Amino acid sequence: MPHIFCHHHHHSTAPVKFLTPRILNKSSESSEVSSLLNNGIKMRTKLNLNLRLSRMLKERSLVVDMLAIFFGIGTWVGINGTFIQLPLLVEIAPEGWSLPSYLSVMVQIGNLGPLLYTLLQNNSTTKDTILIYGLLTLGTISALLSAFFYSETAVVFGQEHSVALFVLTFLTAINACSSSVLFMPYMGRFKEIYLVTYFVGEGLSGLLPSVVALIQGIGTTECILTNTTSEGENIYEKNTPPPLFDTKVFFIFIFAMMVLSCGGFFLLDRLKLAKEQYANVRAVHGNNYVYEAETKRTPGPNNDSENEGQSKLTSSQYVFMLFLIAAICFFANGVFNSIQSYSCLPYGSEAYHLSATLRYVFINLVKGKTR
């Protein structure tokens, strides 16, 4: 009996000693395989990113990218700069806190620019480049004159108004409103990758003035003790310290941005390096382009799936999208600019300054994510 018990005990413990290393070997092998697979996936992803980056750099010119950004800055930098400067302008303008309403009307009248362009294109074949040169020059001169005449007033119908600022804002608005029908279509002659950098410049037209306005600041009104009467009553006076630099310097900065935009467009239009980045396109007249396919695509399963995924907008969908765009522009470019000063009035000039500047900062952050 002891012999049998020992023999049985020998057989029961032997499999445990024999199987344990094999189980450990299998688990270690699987972990090694999974780590190798993960490393391979990471290396493959990194290689694909490097190949994609190198392909993008080969297909595009960084010089043309920079010029497109400079060109895009000249779209709305004048109008954005004027509205960002409103917290300081309302303090000196005879219109006071109703000044944004007047300027919003001037901007809407500036939409006559696109209408005149449409009529001009129907009756003649004026080149877009000539019109763009004219608009950029108009915006540049308006920015320079705004630096010196923004505070000039005149009596109209018995009331004092900022006539010079109204006229200069209207001229600047012609440049800004016409950019949608001239500047962006002009970029259609380039490869589509440069339209993105143009939009970056358009975003900077609001971001850069906002940053400069934040650095400029606005004087916070304080009550300072100036005297004490014989009865012990304290006499306070309101004191508003000046900003870091005045409105004249700010408009000179806007003028410098417009000069930079003019230079960017001039080089885009003249440089051979820029013309080499044209797409296979033929200009019919104005901004009407006929695109020619670079290569004929052979039918295949991939092409069929891509064609199936693409669908054209119906007329009702097109009208609905136009209605949405009109509603967004109505509130963003019309209503909000007019009532922003009144909504911030109970909180003072500092709140108005921060809301006017940070608005364009967050707008451009949202645009950057959606594009």
pLDDT tens profile 262-290: 999 999 999 999 988 988 766 655 566 66
How far is the C-alpha of 164 from the C-alpha of 247, rounded, in Å? Answer: 15
Question: pTM of the entire structure?
Answer: 0.76
For the segment 194-233, what is each residue's pLDDT rounded down to a tens digit? 999 999 999 999 999 999 999 998 876 677 767 777 777 7
pLDDT at 2 over 70: no
Q: Are strands 222-228 and 159-161 parallel, antiparallel or unpaired?
A: unpaired
Instruction: Return the pLDDT at 53.
Output: 61
Dihedral through CA 363, CA 369, CA 370, CA 371, nearest 10?
110
Q: What average pLDDT does the structure give for the chain?
A: 81
Q: Where are the beta strands (DSSP E) in the chain?
A: 154-156, 159-161, 222-228, 234-239, 281-285, 288-291
For the segment 319-352, what is each residue's pLDDT rounded down to a tens digit? 999 999 888 888 877 788 888 888 888 888 888 8
Q: In this prediction, what percent of the chain has a pLDDT beyond 90?
A: 44
Q: Let me know if 130 is exposed, middle or buried by CB neighbors in 10 A (0-12, 13-18, 19+).
A: exposed
109 vs 359, more confident: 109
3-state secondary structure of 160: strand
What is the architecture of the domain spanning 59-218+246-293+319-368?
Answer: Up-down Bundle (1.20)
Instruction: Return the pLDDT at 69.
Output: 96
Phi and psi at 196, nearest 5°, equal -65, -45
The number of residues in the chain equals 371
Answer whether 281's CB lies under 8 Å from 292's CB: yes
Q: Let me know if 86 is exposed, middle or buried by CB neighbors in 10 A (0-12, 13-18, 19+).
A: buried
For the segment 12-29, what is each residue's pLDDT rounded down to a tens digit? 444 444 444 555 455 666
Helix axes 77-84 and 193-216, enclosed angle (nearest 10) = 20
Answer whether 65's CB lies under 8 Å from 197's CB: yes
For the segment 250-263, what is each residue's pLDDT rounded down to a tens digit? 999 999 999 999 99
**Sequence spans of domains, the chain:** 59-218+246-293+319-368
How far is the C-alpha of 177 from the C-alpha of 183, rounded, in Å? Answer: 10
